[in-house]
Amino acid sequence: MQGKVRNRAATIAVSLAAVLLTGCAGLPPVETRGLDARFGDAVRQARAQQTLNPEAGRNSDPVAGIDGVAAQNTIEQYQKGFKEPPPTFNILGIGGTSVFQ
């Protein structure tokens, strides 16, 4: 009786090991030459569609349209925005106060 149980246990163990080891087998190589040749086309197309002037780097004309004082004020306001958080408003009226007073 013990011999049959050992035989069955050994058969089950070998079968289980065979099933588990099939997961280690590699898959056959997949042919991807067609995909590899077009790799990155979508990114290049999207970048080209979002570029307003592709020749802008070759333009040596200075930028015109804003004077020095306005530019300096703009830069100061921009930098100030990182030092002080913007003021918050009670939009929904949470906290017992009404927005429509």
DSSP 23-56: TTSPPPPP--HHHHHTTTHHHHHHHHHH-S-TTG
pLDDT greater at residue 94 or residue 81: 81
For position 34, what pLDDT does the model report?
Answer: 81
37-82, pLDDT tens digit by residue? 899 999 999 999 999 888 888 988 877 788 889 999 999 999 988 8
Kindly state the percentage of the chain with pLDDT values over 70.
Answer: 86
For position 85, what pLDDT does the model report?
Answer: 73
The pTM of the full predicted model, rounded to 2 decimals, is 0.34
